[in-house]
């Protein structure tokens, strides 16, 4: 009988169990790993002596690649929380409180990053100074620290007191690139179980002469799995609408974590960025390029785990939170990725909100309020004035029950705890009126209770943040809304919003056009395609240009096998119509896709009038080149590609002509021809069509040693590196992923 049991749970996630050594190793820690282990019965309820308890892993094996295919790979927070609290290892008096601490295995860099991330994820800001630096008064800071200590059972523990670690290999630094030594000696995990790194992200686990191999790598295009399946929904356009995009918690295997989407005057805002956000939004026909901003409640992973995807947007998404929450989130991101705190501001357009004050965001007003939680948390009230009356939405996640908050009130002077005044303010904040209110009713030590809202004056209450079924008493207070359901607070004209959106995309695509001609193009008929519809087939001559207004479309080519996602603002079929040629691609909807169908004759007439035909063909080629060169696991929206193209210049090189030092300061995309790279007099490589030439800042002092000479007549698209780096996705690709090679050749 085998001594080692191995189960492959999903992409990048495996379970290795050695019963004789009392080891249960979770190999890989993506965002949904606890849910997936629960779904596979590897985590089960197992109460001990009347104490709630669960089974589960006692060892975590980290990926040595912190980000794979645009997703965080090492989100250990909920796995650690499951061990500390649901298995009972950190609960005073629990039968399991004397057992070994969670054990984390990984490379030295990743282990250290995890310590910082786990510490911030468990406690948030850890001192009076860090809180007062966010503009909080001394008195309120004192009470916040008292709350923090109450949640932490009286003591803030360093990460070393929460987890044990085993480091696998030593890190060798060469220049600016971190590399690791292969073929290391095996290391003992404990109890005679050994682990050895075989290759990048591939590990061998051995016990008494028996071995298993686990591979934590994701293949190209592969994603970490989700524990639930969602149908596709059409996103409606109204003046003020709330889309319910998550009603579960971090443990619920059947539902996305608590979240909402606000659609206000055609703009999309999301609340929180929990696990599998991109998958959830895709079911609603929303891509990251559609998102105007994110309102963030706090830094726990069930509200934080998908920030990576938002960082990798093709525009700076607006980030809204109080300075208190922003600081907590920034420190956690910094620890997880081992980057400076300033990088967060390169990836997001940060807008700090003041507690207890209404702020207007293009007419949508928002007021953040403080909510007690182990990490810094703000809840949100939203409103807008319509025909003399406010319509409002309240998003209360995460909150605390009045019973548990009452236990934190100090009974006499000198006793630890919070004031009765703060208790009453928090209670009144929770119970403010809203036309529609979503509450965290997760119960337990750190979440809210439905029964606290029995006398809430709000018109409608949605019960959320659940991993259990609602009781009959709870159903008298509110309802649990289904994913994709909506609450229309102010209706709007769908046709009007469609036309306005179409014109905004056309302005970006055709900055030269007059208002009359823009309106003429936008008068095409509106059409919505259902998911799975192919509306242009490969080899077919399209009769219309399809300007997409929402949803996601796949562009597929049989010959090249390339597949790209197209988002709102794409002019699908344009190149084929201009060239009067069959489409080399097929276009298939992934979600509901809303379009404006523009007749090809009308389109060509406008192009001829403004002499845009050749320019648009060059733009199309540029789009294809840039998309295929840099972004194998993500896509730029057409509007962003248009902006990039509008800043490009075409550089023509004659055979044997050499690039100047000024050219090295640009990002150069080889559109046609070939260039030869010569370094210190020796030929290093030939870069052809589809290659990139860019001199990294770290070696800019070597310009005089480098020559780039055209081997034949060559055309280069040149873009200012500063402009490229201002796009978060490009910034990530060029500055973080792979630490930037000197030259990239992806012919």
pLDDT of 528-544, one tens digit each?
999 999 999 999 999 99
pLDDT greater than 90 at residue 319: yes
pLDDT greater than 50 at residue 746: no
CA distance 507 to 569: 10
Exposure b/e, 321-331, CB count within 10 A at least 16 = b: bbbbbbbbbbb
What is the reported pLDDT for 305? 96
pLDDT greater than 80 at residue 628: no
Q: Give the sheet arrangement for strand 714-720, strand by strand.
A: 649-653, 714-720, 666-672, 692-693, 743-744
Quick one: DSSP state of residue 512? Answer: T
What is the end-to-end Cα distance of the chain in Å, rounded? 51
Instruction: Tell me if 567 sits within 8 A of 511, measured CB to CB.
Output: no
pLDDT greater than 70 at residue 180: no
pLDDT band of residue 237 (cuts 50, 70, 90) is confident
What is the reported pLDDT for 573? 94
Burial status of residue 128 (CB atoms within 10 A of its CB: 0-12, 13-18, 19 or more) = middle
pLDDT greater than 50 at residue 272: yes
CA distance 576 to 593: 21
pLDDT greater than 80 at residue 703: no
What is the reported pLDDT for 69? 86
What is the reported pLDDT for 733? 64
pLDDT band of residue 659 (cuts 50, 70, 90) is confident
Highest mean pLDDT among 94-98, 179-183, 232-236, 515-519: 515-519
CA distance 541 to 55: 60
DSSP string covering 314-360: SS-EEEEE-HHHHHHHHHHHHHHHT--TTHHHHHEEEEE--TT--EE
What is the reported pLDDT for 182? 42
pLDDT band of residue 519 (cuts 50, 70, 90) is very high
What is the reported pLDDT for 635? 65
- 274, 286, 273, 227: which is closest to 486 by C-alpha? 286
What is the reported pLDDT for 414? 73
DSSP string covering 357-394: --EEETTEEEEEEE---SS--EEEEEEEEETTEEEEEE
What is the reported pLDDT for 634? 55
pLDDT band of residue 563 (cuts 50, 70, 90) is confident
**Structure-token match 């009470």, residue found:** 143
Which residues are CB-neighbours of 342 under 8 A, at least 6 positions away?
Answer: none
Instruction: Tell me if 600 sits within 8 A of 544, measured CB to CB.
Output: yes
DSSP SS3 for 716: strand
What is the reported pLDDT for 184? 62
What is the reported pLDDT for 702? 56
pLDDT band of residue 696 (cuts 50, 70, 90) is low
What is the reported pLDDT for 215? 97
pLDDT greater than 70 at residue 701: no
Work out the mean pLDDT of the chain and round it to a whole number.
Answer: 89
What is the reported pLDDT for 416? 84
What is the reported pLDDT for 151? 93
DSSP count for the chain of H helices, then E strands:
22, 43
- % of the chain surpassing 70 pLDDT: 93
pLDDT band of residue 87 (cuts 50, 70, 90) is very high
DSSP SS3 for 238: coil
Instruction: Tell me if 54 sits within 8 A of 41, measured CB to CB.
Output: no
What is the reported pLDDT for 177? 39
pLDDT greater than 60 at residue 581: yes
Q: Crossing angle of helices 613-630/638-646, nearest 10°? A: 110
């Amino acid at each position: 009988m085998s001594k080692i049991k191995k189960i492959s749970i999903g992409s990048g996630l495996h379970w290795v169990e050695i019963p004789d050594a009392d080891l249960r190793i979770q190999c890989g820690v993506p965002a949904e790993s606890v849910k997936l282990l629960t779904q596979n019965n590897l985590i089960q309820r197992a109460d001990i002596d009347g104490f709630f308890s669960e089974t589960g892993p006692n060892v975590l094996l980290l990926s040595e690649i912190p980000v794979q295919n645009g997703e965080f790979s090492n989100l250990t927070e909920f796995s650690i929380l499951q061990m500390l609290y649901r298995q009972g290892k950190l609960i005073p008096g629990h039968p399991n409180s004397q057992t070994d601490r969670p054990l984390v295995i990984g490379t030295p860099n990743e282990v250290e990053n995890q310590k910082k991330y786990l510490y911030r994820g468990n406690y948030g800001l850890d001192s009076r100074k860090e809180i007062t630096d966010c503009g909080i008064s001394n008195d309120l800071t004192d009470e916040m620290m008292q709350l923090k200590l109450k949640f932490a059972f009286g003591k803030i523990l360093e990460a070393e007191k929460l987890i044990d670690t085993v480091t696998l290999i030593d890190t060798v630094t060469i220049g600016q690139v971190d590399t690791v030594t292969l073929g290391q000696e095996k290391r003992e995990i404990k109890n005679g179980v050994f682990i050895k790194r075989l290759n990048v992200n591939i590990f061998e686990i051995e016990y008494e002469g028996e071995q298993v191999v686990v591979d934590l790598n994701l293949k190209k295009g592969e994603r970490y799995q989700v524990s639930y399946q969602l149908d596709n929904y059409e996103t409606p356009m109204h003046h003020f609408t709330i889309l319910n995009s998550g009603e579960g918690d971090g443990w619920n295997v059947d539902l996305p974590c608590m979240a909402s989407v606000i659609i206000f005057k055609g703009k999309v805002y999301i609340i929180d960025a929990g696990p599998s956000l991109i998958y959830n939004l895709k079911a609603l026909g929303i891509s990251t390029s559609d998102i105007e901003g994110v309102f963030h409640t706090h830094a726990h992973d069930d509200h934080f785990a998908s920030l990576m995807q938002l960082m990798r947007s093709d525009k700076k998404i607006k980030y809204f939170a109080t300075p208190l929450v922003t600081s907590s989130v920034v420190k956690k991101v910094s620890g997880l990725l081992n980057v400076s705190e300033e990088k967060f501001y390169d990836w997001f357009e940060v807008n700090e909100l003041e507690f207890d004050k209404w702020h207007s965001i293009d007419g949508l007003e928002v007021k953040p309020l403080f909510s007690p939680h182990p990490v810094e948390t703000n809840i949100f009230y939203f409103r807008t004035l319509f025909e003399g009356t406010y319509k409002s939405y309240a998003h209360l996640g995460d909150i605390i029950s009045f019973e548990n908050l009452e236990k934190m009130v100090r009974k006499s002077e000198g006793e630890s705890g919070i004031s009765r005044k703060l208790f009453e303010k928090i209670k009144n904040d929770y119970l403010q009126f809203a036309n529609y209110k979503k509450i965290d009713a997760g119960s337990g030590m750190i979440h809210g209770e439905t029964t606290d809202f029995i006398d809430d004056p709000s018109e409608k209450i949605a019960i959320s943040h659940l991993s259990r079924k609602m009781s009959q008493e709870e159903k008298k207070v509110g309802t649990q809304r289904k994913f994709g359901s909506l609450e229309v607070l102010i209706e709007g004209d769908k046709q009007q919003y469609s036309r306005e959106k179409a014109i905004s995309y056309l302005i970006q695509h055709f900055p030269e056009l007059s208002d009359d001609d823009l309106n003429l193009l936008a008068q095409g008929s509106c059409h919505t395609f259902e998911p799975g519809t192919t509306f242009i087939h490969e080899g077919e001559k399209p009769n219309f240009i399809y300007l997409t207004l929402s949803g996601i479309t796949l562009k597929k080519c049989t010959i090249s096998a390339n597949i790209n996602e197209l988002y709102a603002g794409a002019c699908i079929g344009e190149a084929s119509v201009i060239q009067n040629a069959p489409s080399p691609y097929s276009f298939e909807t992934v979600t509901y896709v809303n379009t404006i169908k523009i007749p090809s004759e009308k389109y060509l007439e406008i192009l001829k009038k403004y002499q845009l035909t050749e320019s648009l063909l060059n733009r199309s080629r540029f789009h294809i080149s840039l998309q295929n060169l840099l972004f194998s696991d993500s896509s730029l929206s057409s509007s962003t590609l248009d902006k990039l193209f509008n800043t490009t210049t075409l550089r023509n090189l004659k055979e044997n002509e050499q690039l100047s030092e000024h050219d090295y300061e640009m990002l150069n995309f080889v559109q046609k021809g070939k260039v030869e790279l010569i370094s210190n007099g020796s030929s290093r490589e030939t870069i052809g069509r589809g290659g990139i030439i860019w001199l990294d800042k770290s070696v800019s002092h070597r310009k005089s040693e480098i020559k780039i000479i055209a081997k034949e007549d060559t055309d280069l698209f040149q873009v200012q590196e500063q402009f490229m780096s201002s796009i978060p996705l490009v910034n990530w690709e060029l500055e973080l992923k792979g630490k930037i090679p000197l030259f990239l050749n992806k012919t």
